[in-house]
Structure 1
Amino acid sequence: MSTENIPTSNTEDRDVLALFPKLTRDDVLSCVFSSWYSKLRHVTFKSVVIKPLDPSFIEYLVSDGIVLPGDDETPKFRNTIEEDDGSDWSDYDEDDSGERPKMAVNIDAVAAEIRQAIGDLGGKAFPRMNWSAPTDASWMSCDKTLQCRNLSEVLTLLKSSDKITEDIDGGGYISRDEMGDWEHELVLRQWCNLFPSMEFRCFVREHELVAISQIEMQHYDFLDGMKDDIGNKISELFDRYVREAIDPENYCFDVYITQESGRAYVVDVKPWSAKVDSCLYLWQEILELKEGGTLGLRLFPSSIDGMRHYSNKYAANQFPKDIACEGLQTSIIEFVQKMALHQANEDDSQSD
């Protein structure tokens, strides 16, 4: 990695965007959850896909405010149990009568399917839609996870997430005109307590696995000794299962490796787009890689304090957007500069 690859201006950002091949509607739809889940069912986590979704349910998700069904389910989210936390946010507006407002639309049919799916998945699940999970809303949960035990918790996460709103609008990968019509789907996935240290993002270009990156922006000493094994397990997963299952020649997929058995699982598949976080790589590195070349597996270096640059992954969702974006942009540029310097020093030491 060289410092000349560091994005420092909007012009350079536009130059990188120009390197991406044009995404097609088929490319985007190939990364819809149900498109790949059926092909990779045996190497991913058990899930229940609910589709087609009644239009009233989509109307409910995009409507203003959070009104939950009038049942006995109690969400575990902070604003529903901390009555005196000083927050001016509420999942509904109280009036003089103290009565809970009624649902504007009827979502009973989908609600029944959600309850059934949670039961089928062992009583704990997490939700997602076509391309995205509501990870940006996890800060609302007392344990800051997407774990849901009932309908109200699922609905609260979905309605609190900007990512889900964008997903409903087509994912944001290509224009609405290019997307045309598609079928919305709600997915309930079996809840698993995954260790962030064992999650990796993989980059496939022209049907070849060209790069793997640790996703969590923090150094873990134990990963250094596992680097070759991790790379081998992911390569084997790709060659045996993923390569033939995903249609586009360019895409990204996320992998989780269990610490006990060392088994690799596919977590998600994403379009080949600048909208996808390239983690410890610069997109320019990947896009300008020569044919037949690979970048291997990149782990977070021990010489950089990741916690200084990355606190809560979705802390930006709790602050004014203009303030959060300015701080995040500065932090990322500083981080990439240090990564480039670290890599240059390593290259110099190896040449000596």
Structure 2
Amino acid sequence: MPIALPSSSSGSCPVVPPLLRSTVQACRFSEWYPSFKRNSIRGVVYKFGKEEELTLRAWFEEDGMRLPTEVVEDDESQLSDSSDEDEEESSSSSSSSSSSCPPSHSFPSFTTLITSTLLLYPIFPKINNLAPQDAQWILPLSQPLKCTTIQDVYLALKASALTAVALDDHRDLSGVDEDDGTVVEGVVEDLSEEQEEGERVEVVLKKWYDLERSREFRLFVRGEVLLGISQRDPNHYPHLLVPETQSKIRSTLVNFFESTLKGKFAGGPNYVLDVYMSSSLTGAHLISIAPYHPSLTSPLLFGSYSALHQLYLSTLSDFTPPALSTLSLLDELSSATSSPTRGDEEDDASLETIGTDAPLTLPVLLVIESRSHPAATRNSPAWPAYPQDVVSVGSGKDVEEFKRIWEGEVREAAKEEQDETKTKTTTSQEGSP
């Protein structure tokens, strides 16, 4: 169960502070990156113009996986240069299909930026602060969202269900937090129409790195106070239980926050940071800045924003919280989701390394303390690996056979769509006076 909140303070100090539209906008990569470029992973931004945005939305909403016109034309040009008979046959079939049912969307400027960026580094794409993590299945490499071609970038964005979420940037965020039942307010609109007009869709082409997941952490900040630090990857890493390692992580991230971010973020005093630590754990890089809001940012190991609220209350000068120690806090956090196996020797030892009965000291650092921890999902994908139609087509096939069958399925789908379009056109013409 979540940590109990004192009723006397719930009215004057909400669990989740009001979220302004200006804060949401300030969390965009294009807004904060210029200020924190020296401490961040490299990336470039493409902002779509008004007409381009309409075309982009239409392309995303369109059924199928057609690539933009300029990408398809480039593919056909490369295929036509092949001298192999099989490749010529494939090229002819592909060209015939493309010419009979050509893509109607084009983004030449964006494609040019992708091309020039790929000359410098492989790309990790994000659209409006969301990465298309659920589209990993469509990329040819095993590394998470490593895009090495123009096609990779477009396919990842097109195949992701999260793209639709990213484009719905004015969706209603109010409701009840599923984690603890807390009533959460929506975004407070504080921007003028002119300022809203400048809030265009943007795609970030970040430099892809093979990150060591155990060095990724999330920092929760409220009122410019660093309340808690949570391990991001839901796997158990024994080395994170070593007291000396935890002390170094905590010290480094506190220093990083105070020297780099504190009082310098334009979006206000409440925000969440995702950071990546150096191999020596003596430095950190800023990955992203997100709103302090359960509808937009997960509390990860803290379980709910109510737990973070309890930590925040302990910082207020006019509030005296109940006696709370690091160990008791961890017990509270674990009790809501712990499995029946919790309490074995490994778990007990792990808890002892994380906290003691000493007074609570902020920020609280939480890590996965054992493989039986409910948040630990080793060898389990964070997102559905493949859509059902891909699974049904690929079942029992090797890579080459799957590729041949899948391309046939795509060509057949395109042909059916073409025939349907012709039928509709003929019917329309017959019905005309």
Q: Check 1:260–1:118 CA distance in 2 against 1; reply closer, same or farther (3 A cut).
A: farther
* Secondary structure of 1:315's aligned partner: coil
Q: Which runs of 5+ in 1 are unaligned?
A: 7-14, 75-93, 321-352
> Using the alignment, how far apart are the partners of 1:224 and 1:230 within structure 2?
11
Does the CA contact (< 8 Å) of 2:111 and 2:150 recur in 1?
A: yes
Residue in 2 that maps onto 1:77: none
Tell me, yes or no, if structure 1 residue 302 matches structure 2 residue 324: no
Does the CA contact (< 8 Å) of 1:33 and 1:129 recur in 2?
A: no
Sequence identity percentage: 24
> Using the alignment, how far apart are the partners of 1:64 and 1:188 within structure 2?
25
After superposition, give the CA deviation of every residue in 1:129-180 in whole Å (9 maximum; x if it has no partner).
2221111222333415111111110000111112222111216474799485
Which protein, 1 or 2, shows the higher relative CO under an 8 Å CA cutoff with sep ≥ 6?
Answer: 1
After superposition, give the CA deviation of every residue in 1:28-83 in whole Å (9 maximum; x if it has no partner).
11101111111110011111111244333343234332212214569xxxxxxxxx
* Alpha-carbon offset, residue 258 of structure 1: 2.1
* Secondary structure of 2:220's aligned partner: strand
Equivalent in 264, 288, 298 of residue 245 of structure 1: 264
> Using the alignment, how far apart are the partners of 1:127 and 1:4 within structure 2?
35
Q: Which amino acid aligns with 2:216?
A: E
Tell me, yes or no, if structure 1 residue 191 matches structure 2 residue 208: yes
Tell me, yes or no, if structure 1 residue 312 matches structure 2 residue 381: yes
> Using the alignment, how far apart are the partners of 2:143 and 2:169 within structure 1?
27
Residue in 1 that maps onto 2:42: 46
Q: Check 1:263–1:172 CA distance in 2 against 1; reply closer, same or farther (3 A cut).
A: farther
Runs of 4+ more than 6 Å apart: none
The 5-angstrom pairing of residues 250-329 of structure 1 reads: 250-260=270-280, 262-275=282-295, 276-282=297-303, 283-289=305-311, 290-292=313-315, 294-302=362-370, 304-305=372-373, 307=376, 311-315=380-384, 318=387
* Alpha-carbon RMSD: 3.1
Look at both structures and tell me which one has the larger radius of gyration over its CA atoms: 2
Tell me, yes or no, if structure 1 residue 208 matches structure 2 residue 237: no
> Using the alignment, how far apart are the partners of 2:66 and 2:371 within structure 1?
48
Q: Check 1:308–1:159 CA distance in 2 against 1; reply closer, same or farther (3 A cut).
A: closer
**What's the TM-score, normalizing by structure 2?**
0.60
Tell me, yes or no, if structure 1 residue 233 matches structure 2 residue 252: yes
**What's the TM-score, normalizing by structure 1?**
0.73
Q: Which amino acid aligns with 2:228?
A: A
> Using the alignment, how far apart are the partners of 1:310 and 1:20 within structure 2?
33
* Secondary structure of 2:289's aligned partner: strand
Count of residues in correspondence between the two structures = 287
* Alpha-carbon offset, residue 316 of structure 1: 7.8
Q: Check 1:167–1:310 CA distance in 2 against 1; reply closer, same or farther (3 A cut).
A: same
The 5-angstrom pairing of residues 1-352 of structure 1 reads: 3-5=1-3, 19-53=15-49, 54-55=52-53, 56-68=55-67, 69-71=71-73, 98-99=97-98, 101-119=101-119, 121-122=120-121, 124-142=122-140, 143=142, 145-170=144-169, 172=171, 174=173, 178=189, 180-181=196-197, 182-225=199-242, 226-247=245-266, 248-260=268-280, 262-275=282-295, 276-282=297-303, 283-289=305-311, 290-292=313-315, 294-302=362-370, 304-305=372-373, 307=376, 311-315=380-384, 318=387
Q: Which amino acid aligns with 1:201?
A: R
* Secondary structure of 2:365's aligned partner: strand
Does the CA contact (< 8 Å) of 1:127 and 1:134 recur in 2?
A: yes
* Secondary structure of 2:204's aligned partner: strand
Q: Which runs of 5+ in 2 are unaligned?
A: 5-10, 77-92, 174-185, 316-360, 390-433
Q: Check 1:163–1:177 CA distance in 2 against 1; reply closer, same or farther (3 A cut).
A: farther
